[in-house]
Structure 1
Amino acid sequence: MQLFREISQKGLKPNIVTYNTILQGLFEIGRIGVAKQLFVEMVSAGPTPDTCMVLCLMVILSTDLLKKLCHSLISWKERENVNIMYYNIIINGLCKNGELDKAHAIFQKLSSMGLLPNVRTYTMMIAGFCLQGLLGEAKDMLRKMEDNSCFPDNVTYNVIVQGYLRCRKINEMVTFMKEMTGRGFSFDATTSELLVKAISENPSIVDMLPELHAEIKK
């Protein structure tokens, strides 16, 4: 944002690409309010929103208008080659902004629009469920992606393990940990931090499986 403000200070004018970039970044971290304010500034400055931006703006629209735009995007896809990447931006922003129902509604519409969720799409939905404590739904989503031949990666497993750790569901966490180590994946920094905290509260966790010893040594 500081760099963005410097553009005007240096006598330059942000174009639609500049605005798209900063708005996508804001949506990615769930700062919907700031994104909305920036969009108002953009409208007054002159650049016309393009397809990518309109998709992102769906995040701040009402549910009814959101549904109408989703339907209209079927024809947009053919003309503008709308990519799953844009929907990932929207889903991620909604999940981080606590609007899981809207994110899930968009996710369910993807196939009807001829778009296939990729590993990032599934991972963001799993993260959204975990943030709401809906671990059963997160697990179902993990199995669903595998059934659809979209296989979880290291990030996916870390997200779901973190969800179970935060909810103190240690036995279930161990099951996923066995899966991820069996597939050659490892804990990231956040997962390791949560695991250390859980062990400090319950040292018996270390004895639950040999793989945990190896992870801790790392």
Structure 2
Amino acid sequence: MSAEETSRLSAPERREQILAAAAIVFGERGYAGGTTDAIARQAGVSQAYVVRMFGSKEKLFRASALRAADKVGHAFRDTIATFNGDEDAEQKTLALAAAYTSLVADRGILLTLLHLFALGHDDTLGPLARECFLDTYRIARDEAGLTPEEANAFFARGMLTTVMLAMRLPDDAANPYASELMSCTFGELTTDLITLSQGQVPIDTSGR
């Protein structure tokens, strides 16, 4: 048996470890630039173990993208579960926005989804991109109870949020225009977002 197989981690735990590493690598390098070798180094396992567990880079990327989408969905559902039925649309969207931005510390989640959406033209990954996006939209519509117009506004701001975080705009918070844009977009969450973004974990130098 390999060292990975004889370690104390269970197979599901090892799978999560590899997917967390994949989010970091794919998030920074994208699908084309990410390799199973870099992901294995980031996870501290052998490349052979990664390939044996997932089969191919494409299957690993799919699993990583689904993990990212699932984390957003779970964050939304956990928030929706706290609603008592008296919230208006603004209260709902603010709560959902806070749930989304709470994921910022795991930069790979948001970047992996951005890379997935950019592959909309791909015959294999394009359908997955649309499925993940529309599943999240359905949660906002059917489970949070937003109207199409309310959901549209919420997703528009959410995509702006994702792009701003992808370019690490909080790093330039001292710039008055960056500060102004973040304040308009994030409101009272701005300070928390800057703090969370500072905790984002980059790819390990050994995996570059």
**TM-score normalized by the length of structure 1:** 0.36
Larger Rg computed on CA atoms: 1
The higher relative CO (CA closer than 8 Å, separation ≥ 6) is in: 2
